């Protein structure tokens, strides 16, 4: 059995942890091919809330609900490699909440505003996380995610609708921690990060010619419940820029 002690310690202390070579080169190639196939063959017949587009109105920004729309991704999320690790981090039985992508396509990939995911997930206690796997190289130029380490201990901060399609709700005030003190998650394909649902993070637009595709698995502890107050606030933001 793999020993996850170091990962668990870092996750609990920082709210974010990096995993090198979490997916093999072969698995990254397979995932990329399956995403391309899904977008070409399946997505056109899926409901509108299966994706968000970039402001150009044609390039996919996010795929949503892959756990419902794709046997391949639902099965991948159930693999022992993933569930054994996240089970150590969500404080109980892990339940898959979502499989999705943040494509950050070349040249048109839009920014992700400062936010805490639990403003979207609306769970209490906040025992929920995202495993973010790099399918493309992730660099400071093409839109790496910046995290504020330790911010998962701040509680959920005030929010406001962001007006950004795919990221409808953000922090009311950007944090004062300078970028130079934030953790910039540059990654090779197959590397991953795991972040807590109240860790503050954001990413820049992609103006480069290199796409920055990430595959995300969201898990919660089975014991978590919906926080109705949070849900009401999120629904209002989501109505302005559906589906997410
Ligand atoms: O991929 C990105 O740039 C942002 C992802 C994100 O916000 C998240 O994983 O919660």
Domain residue extents for the chain: 5-240
Q: Residue 234's pLDDT band (boundaries 50, 70, 90)?
A: confident
Q: Is 90 exceeded by the pLDDT of residue 189?
A: yes
Atom number in ligand 1 closest to CA 102 = 1
Query: pTM for this structure?
Result: 0.95
Q: Residue 123 has which token pair?
A: 């769970």
Q: Is 90 exceeded by the pLDDT of residue 101?
A: yes
Contact 66, 51 (CB under 8 A): no
Give the residue-averaged pLDDT of 122-145: 98
Atom number in ligand 1 closest to CA 201 = 7
3-class state of residue 183 by DSSP? strand
Give the residue-averaged pLDDT of 210-234: 94
Ligand 1 pocket by C-beta < 6 Å: which residues?
A: 102, 104, 112, 117, 130, 132, 143, 145, 201, 203, 214, 216
Please give the pLDDT value at position 237.
80
> Measured in angstroms, how far is the CA atom of residue 222 from the centroid of ligand 1?
23
Q: Is 90 exceeded by the pLDDT of residue 167?
A: no
> Measured in angstroms, how far is the CA atom of residue 40 from the centroid of ligand 1?
23
Q: Residue 46's pLDDT band (boundaries 50, 70, 90)?
A: very high
Please give the pLDDT value at position 232.
87
As a whole number of angstroms, the distance between CA 181 and CA 192 comes to 20
Q: If residue 53 lies in a helix (H) or strand (E), which one and from where to where?
A: strand 51-53
Atom number in ligand 1 closest to CA 216 = 9
Please give the pLDDT value at position 89.
97
Peptide bond just before 63 cis, omega within 30 deg = no
CA atoms in the 13 A half-sphere facing the CB of 85: 24
Atom number in ligand 1 closest to CA 117 = 10
Supply the mean pLDDT for the chain.
Answer: 95
Give the residue-averaged pLDDT of 152-167: 91
Please give the pLDDT value at position 198.
98
Quick one: CATH architecture of 5-240?
Answer: Sandwich (2.60)
Please give the pLDDT value at position 1.
53
Give the residue-averaged pLDDT of 61-65: 97
> Over the range 102-120, which residues count as b (16 or more CB within 10 Å of their CB) and which as e?
bbbbbebbbebbbbbbbbb
- Could you give the dihedral angle defined by the CA atoms of residues 142, 112, 66 and 198, in that order, rounded to the nearest 10 degrees? 120
Q: Is 80 exceeded by the pLDDT of residue 240?
A: no
> Measured in angstroms, how far is the CA atom of residue 16 from the centroid of ligand 1?
12
> Measured in angstroms, how far is the CA atom of residue 42 from the centroid of ligand 1?
24
């Amino acid at each position: 059995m793999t020993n996850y002690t170091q990962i668990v310690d870092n996750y609990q202390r920082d709210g974010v942890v990096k995993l090198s070579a979490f997916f093999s080169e072969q698995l990254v190639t397979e995932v990329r091919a399956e995403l391309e196939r899904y977008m070409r063959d399946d997505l056109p017949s899926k409901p509108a809330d299966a994706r968000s587009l970039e402001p150009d109105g044609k390039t996919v920004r996010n795929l949503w609900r892959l756990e419902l729309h794709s046997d391949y991704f639902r099965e991948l999320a159930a693999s022992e490699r993933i569930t054994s690790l996240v089970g150590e981090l969500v404080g109980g039985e892990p339940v898959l909440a979502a499989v999705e992508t943040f494509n950050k396509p070349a040249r048109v990939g839009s920014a992700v505003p400062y936010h805490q995911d639990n403003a979207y997930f609306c769970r209490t206690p906040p025992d929920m996380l995202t495993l973010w796997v790099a399918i493309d190289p992730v660099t400071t130029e093409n839109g790496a995610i910046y995290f504020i380490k330790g911010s998962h201990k701040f509680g959920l901060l005030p929010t406001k609708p962001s007006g950004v399609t795919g990221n409808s709700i953000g922090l009311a005030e950007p944090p004062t921690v300078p970028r130079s003190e934030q953790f910039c998650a540059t990654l090779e394909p197959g590397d991953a990060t795991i972040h807590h649902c109240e860790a503050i993070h954001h990413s820049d637009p992609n103006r480069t010619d290199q796409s920055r595709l990430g595959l995300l698995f969201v898990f919660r502890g089975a014991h978590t419940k919906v926080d109705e107050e949070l849900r009401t606030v999120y629904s209002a933001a989501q109505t302005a820029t559906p589906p997410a």
